[in-house]
Amino acid sequence: AQSVAQPEDQVNVAEGNPLTVKCTYSVSGNPYLFWYVQYPNRGLQFLLKYITGDNLVKGSYGFEAEFNKSQTSFHLKKPSALVSDSALYFCAVRESYNTDKLIFGTGTRLQVFP
Interface residues toward another protein, by CB under 8 A: 32, 34, 36, 41-46, 49, 51, 90, 94, 97-98, 100-102, 104-107
In the complex with another protein, the residue whose CB is nearer, 12 or 45, is 45
Residue 54, amino acid: D
Residue 93 to residue 24: CA distance in whole angstroms: 10
Of 31 and 81, which CB lies nearer to another protein in the complex structure? 31
Of 110, 114, 101, 40, the residue nearest 75 (C-alpha) = 110
For the bound state, the minimum distance from the C-beta of residue 85 to another protein, rounded and expressed in Å, comes to 19
Q: How far is the CB of 42 from another protein (least distance, A)?
A: 6
- Separation CA 53–CA 66 (nearest Å): 11
Strand partners, 34: 49, 92
Closest CB to another protein among residues 3, 71: 3
Task: Give dist(CA 81, CA 77) in Å, integer.
Answer: 9
Min dist CB 110 to another protein, Å, is 15
